[in-house]
Amino acid sequence: MLLPEGASTGPDGRAVLPGALVLGHGAGGGIDAPDLVAVSAVALDLGLGVVLVEQPYRVAGKRIGPRGAALDTAWEAVVAHLRAHVLDAPLVTGGRSAGARTACRTAAATGSAAVLCLAFPTQPAGRPDLPSRLPELDAVAVPTLVVQGATDPFGVPPAAPHREVEVVAGDHALKKDVPAVAAAVRDWLGRTLPRA
């Protein structure tokens, strides 16, 4: 866990913060993805805590993860542990690609204050015959930001009542304009967690 300078702890030992960002990685990558690193720096600069979660299959040395239900169960357990033992703060959950999908599917169960999606994979690339994943986004009832590359082969989801979509240069990796990704997240976090 990364804490901003001057973070304090309560009598129960949990960090007391105006908010914290809990982020998961994509299916084929890790927590060192450039967009995750940049967004983490933004959150710390705003006085928020940051937790970068590596899925259990990656910790076990596997390259491919299990189906969504197993990922969701692991994610919910991590967030429950953070709430009970580590953080006293509203949590913004999210991640990149598969991590964003997991955060969307579990937003209600984890009590997320908001959801941050970096490169949400709306439609499986090159597979128009497979179902869209847009219902996972549509089911989120809290403020949501999607930052998507303009040429992402997984598509760009539309904006919706609880969802803002920021399109930046680049593809699914979001590496072409990392400062634009960071700026979009900074603006949104500042409006979503105004105490930050």
pLDDT digits (tens, 9 = 90+) for 177-195: 999 999 999 999 999 986 5
Which domains does the chain carry? Answer: 8-192 (3.40.50.1820)
Rounded to the nearest 10 degrees, the angle between the axes of helix 98-105 and helix 68-81 is 70
Which residue from 48, 134, 159 is spatially nearest to 93, judged by alpha carbons?
Answer: 48
Q: Roughly how many angstroms between the first and final C-alpha of the chain, as a whole number?
A: 18
Q: How confident is the model at residue 196 (pLDDT cuts 50, 70, 90)?
A: very low
Q: Collapsing DSSP states into helix, strand and coil, what is residue 117?
A: strand
